[in-house]
Amino acid sequence: MAFINDNYQKLPGNYLFSEIAKRVAKFQSENPNAKIIRLGIGDVTQPLPQVCVDAMKKAVDEMSNAATFRGYGPEQGYAFLREKIADYNYKRRGIDINADEIFISDGSKCDCGNIQEIFSLNSKIAIADPVYPVYLDTNVMAGRTGSLKADGHFEGVVYLPCNAENNFSPSIPNEHVDLIYLCSPNNPTGTTLSREALQNWVDYAKDNNAVILYDAAYAAYITETDVPRSIFEISGARDCAIELRSFSKTAGFTGTRCGYVVIPNELTGSNSAGDKIPLKNLWLRRQTTKFNGTAYIVQRGAEAIYSEEGQAQVHELINYYMENAKIIREGLKKVNLTAYGGVNAPYIWLQTPDKMSSWNFFDKLLTEANVVGTPGAGFGPCGEGYFRLTAFGNRENTIEAMNRIS
């Protein structure tokens, strides 16, 4: 008898975006003429920057020639990409991160899900509510939580409520935790954490020998100059933080797949004997055992954004989506809906009208306006009464969606 991992049965229903896709497919099959506009899952719609396409074509040609062909790549990713990331995203901003602290992957979702494996099952986790579901669901699957309670929270998890009252900035818990998931710019609320808030988190983590898992997948969308783009801008973060980043939203790689994890050399965790073990070594061990690297072709495509031309093309892409964000924010304001985010992030987090439940609002928008968004409750109980729209649609659909909503 093959027994299953019982932890999977603690999870209610489907993964959030699978559930939405299922509901939308059902509606479409019952209403074949409905012209559905999808502003639900944060999936990009614009083509890859030309520099990435050209670099990948060149890499494909290299693969067709025995003299330039590549098989398995270096374990942490190719140095050409790691060095450019360290230079453009860190050193040029005065942040102390080196290429040997960067691990290339096939995207941030996998990294967010896998990183918990290098920590003890006894680790107490703290997550925001609402939250990107991957952080929580993967900890449930691993057995780091108890069962789901009637209030929608799992036993054994420290939830950090984020709402309009606290500016969507989670408060420091008044108990000890070992792992803290932070995401800024935030998915789903589209808001950011201030330098002061991040300093408080770093200070807490150091006092508690905790590790911050900092998801900065949307860092490229920050427009305000005083908002930190990396946890490593914060003093002391090298001793207590891991950063996760992605090319998905920065350069349209949702289908192409490339991301990376930054683990400082001096960051350690304790083993049960109390010895300090470098987390970087554990992650390398995990990746070399379970992962064989990101395609050479894709890494060459990612590298291409780190040139003057590449940066210009990426900015153009991001400006396109941020103009959509502005259209959504202004459209919602016109119909007197309160909304947050959309200034430093491609997500707009709105309060549902008349305190409607977020799934009811989802159904209303789908059936009456044929517009798909994401119900806030899908991100956690504190998301109830909120709804997320993404700025990743094309311009025409974004304008049309706002017309229909109003």
Provide, rounded to whole angstroms, the least separation between the CB of residue 377 and ligand MLT: 14
Instruction: Tell me if 232 sits within 8 A of 93, measured CB to CB.
Output: no
Comparison of 42 and 264: residue with beta carbon closer to ligand MLT: 42
Q: Which residue has the tokens 């899900």?
A: 113
Provide, rounded to whole angstroms, the least separation between the CB of residue 88 and ligand MLT: 22
Closest Cα to residue 17, out of 151, 190, 133?
133
Comparison of 228 and 259: residue with beta carbon closer to ligand MLT: 259
Provide, rounded to whole angstroms, the least separation between the CB of residue 186 and ligand MLT: 11
Provide, rounded to whole angstroms, the least separation between the CB of residue 17 and ligand MLT: 6
Comparison of 343 and 391: residue with beta carbon closer to ligand MLT: 391
Provide, rounded to whole angstroms, the least separation between the CB of residue 265 and ligand MLT: 28
Comparison of 19 and 87: residue with beta carbon closer to ligand MLT: 19
Comparison of 219 and 234: residue with beta carbon closer to ligand MLT: 219
Comparison of 259 and 264: residue with beta carbon closer to ligand MLT: 259
Provide, rounded to whole angstroms, the least separation between the CB of residue 180 and ligand MLT: 20
Structure tokens at 380: 């956690």
Closest Cα to residue 211, out of 197, 192, 186, 231?
231
Provide, rounded to whole angstroms, the least separation between the CB of residue 392 and ligand MLT: 8
Structure tokens at 124: 């107490």
Provide, rounded to whole angstroms, the least separation between the CB of residue 242 and ligand MLT: 18
Question: Applying CB under 6 A, which residues contact ligand MLT?
Answer: 41-43, 109, 132, 187
Provide, rounded to whole angstroms, the least separation between the CB of residue 146 and ligand MLT: 26
Provide, rounded to whole angstroms, the least separation between the CB of residue 220 and ligand MLT: 14
Q: What residues contact residue 66 under an 8 Å CB cut-off, 6+ apart?
A: none
Comparison of 43 and 233: residue with beta carbon closer to ligand MLT: 43
Comparison of 230 and 248: residue with beta carbon closer to ligand MLT: 248
| Closest residue to ligand MLT in the complex (CB) | 42
Question: Would the CA dihedral through 115, 245, 130, 39 be positive or negative?
Answer: negative
Comparison of 234 and 317: residue with beta carbon closer to ligand MLT: 317
Comparison of 59 and 136: residue with beta carbon closer to ligand MLT: 136
